Structure 1
């Protein structure tokens, strides 16, 4: 998963159309769970809480996703569940 070029993900998640957001989440292996507030990491099967930096920390620590690829993701995740 850490092989994505920096240009493949938007720097500001909240500015992209929903279709693009869904695609970008899928590229990271993430699925938004409903109705329970969670984000599922498909590669490892973890259910991640959508608060704090849980999702972005998981991507960094477990999958070595670069910071530039995660930029803005925390704010976008929070906007989905608030």
Structure 2
């Protein structure tokens, strides 16, 4: 009976590493944006809808930035 291989035999491909790096970077950026966006909005005196709007924008911007840089870093390490 031949051995059963589970998962990747040689590890994830380069594209998958870049994709995973982007996803992890986006998650880190979202959490960082939530923290800094909340404190920044409260410091500016925002409440309610304005605070949520600022928080959403900050989270998406930092998530996108971190995701792009993590994807680039993963791509550099991949080659």
Bigger relative CO (Cα 8 Å, ≥ 6 apart): 2
Larger Rg: 2
TM-score by length of 2: 0.28
Higher helix share: 2
